[in-house]
């Protein structure tokens, strides 16, 4: 157990819908990262928050957004969902920056039908 | 941006033999290279990392080597065991643009 929690574990929804994925980092970690893992694309970095502020952006679609709250938990919002958004979404946390050990949560498996 | 290529995509090794997975990166400014192991249905976990001021790092049966000139780094697993079966991902980042860029993964199977 890494200490990072994610909810829900599984999510099934329809195209065009909107969902919210939640992540709680390890105690003491200030950085939260979101990754998308699909079969053909490996692990893709989406976005990083550090102590409530957006710090780095990767290949995140405009239909996706995220935020980190004062208690440091983070939410990833996915809207206007498409079939291709079906994937495993991981959250990770670290004390501060990228060049430290990132601890991954168990992931949320999203299936868009 | 950074591009990380990883080979092979699949690797089968007899138990007890060694396994080597190679990655090349494109950004000469990259200076941090972690390796993650992901068992089936589980989360990725860091197994070893190396920074650009070091050429080699070992942790028991696992070692990573870095060749900055050639821009490649490799994961070496010796005396492989069944529990080493997993997908291994390499990654790279640099201090100025710290996003971790991952390789496409290597599925390692240890044959008993």
Cβ neighbours of B93 in A, within 8 Å: 98-99
Q: Which of A4-13, A41-50, A89-98, B40-49 is predicted most confidently? A: A4-13
The answer to whether B35 faces chain A, any CB pair under 8 Å, is: no
Please answer yes or no on whether B100 and A98 come within 8 Å at the CB atom.
yes
| Whether residue A18 has pLDDT greater than 80 | yes
Tokens of B104: 């496409």
| Whether residue B98 has pLDDT greater than 80 | no
Please answer yes or no on whether B45 and A2 come within 8 Å at the CB atom.
yes
Report the pLDDT value the prediction gives residue A96, as an integer from 0 to 100.
Answer: 83
| Whether residue A83 has pLDDT greater than 90 | yes
Query: Residues B17-76: pLDDT tens digits?
Result: 999 999 999 999 999 999 999 998 899 999 999 998 889 999 999 999 999 999 999 999
Q: Distance between CA atoms of B23 and B27, rounded to whole angstroms? A: 13
Cβ neighbours of B99 in A, within 8 Å: 45, 48, 56, 58, 98
Report the pLDDT value the prediction gives residue B1, as an integer from 0 to 100.
Answer: 79
Minimal-distance CA residue of chain B relative to A102: B46
| Whether residue A69 has pLDDT greater than 90 | yes
Please answer yes or no on whether B42 and A106 come within 8 Å at the CB atom.
yes
* DSSP one-letter string for B11-51: EEEETTS-EEEEEEES-TT--EEEEEEE-TTS--EEEEEEE
pLDDT band at A85 (very low <50, low <70, confident <90, very high): very high
Q: Taking residues A80-88, report their average pLDDT.
A: 96
Percentage of the residues of chain A whose pLDDT score is greater than 70: 98
Distances (CA, A) of A50 to A20, A40, A53, A73: 19, 29, 5, 11
Q: Nearest-CA distance from A105 to chain B in Å?
A: 6
Report the pLDDT value the prediction gives residue B108, as an integer from 0 to 100.
Answer: 97
Cβ neighbours of A97 in B, within 8 Å: 98
pLDDT band at A77 (very low <50, low <70, confident <90, very high): very high
Q: Which residues contact B58 (CB under 8 A, 6 or more apart)?
A: none
| Whether residue A41 has pLDDT greater than 80 | no
């Amino acid at each position: 157990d890494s200490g990072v929690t994610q909810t829900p574990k599984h999510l099934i929804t329809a195209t065009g819908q909107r969902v919210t994925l939640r992540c709680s980092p390890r105690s003491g970690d200030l950085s939260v990262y979101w990754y998308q893992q699909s079969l053909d694309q490996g692990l893709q970095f989406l976005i990083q928050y550090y102590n409530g502020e957006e710090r780095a952006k990767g290949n995140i679609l405009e239909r996706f957004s995220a935020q980190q709250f004062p208690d440091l938990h983070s939410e990833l919002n996915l809207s206007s969902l498409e079939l291709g958004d079906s994937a495993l979404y991981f959250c990770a946390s670290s004390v501060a920056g990228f060049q430290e050990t990132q601890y991954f949560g168990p992931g949320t498996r999203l299936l868009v039908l | 941006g950074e591009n990380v290529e990883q080979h092979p995509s699949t690797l089968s090794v007899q138990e007890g033999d060694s396994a080597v997975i190679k990655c090349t990166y494109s950004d000469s400014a990259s200076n941090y290279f972690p390796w993650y192991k992901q068992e089936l249905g589980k989360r990725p976990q860091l197994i070893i990392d190396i920074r650009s001021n070091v050429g080699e790092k070992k942790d028991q049966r696992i070692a990573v080597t870095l060749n900055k000139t050639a821009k490649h780094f490799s994961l070496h697993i010796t005396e492989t065991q069944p529990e080493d079966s997993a997908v291994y991902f390499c990654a790279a980042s640099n201090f100025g643009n710290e996003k971790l860029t991952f390789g496409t993964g290597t599925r390692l199977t240890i044959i008993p």
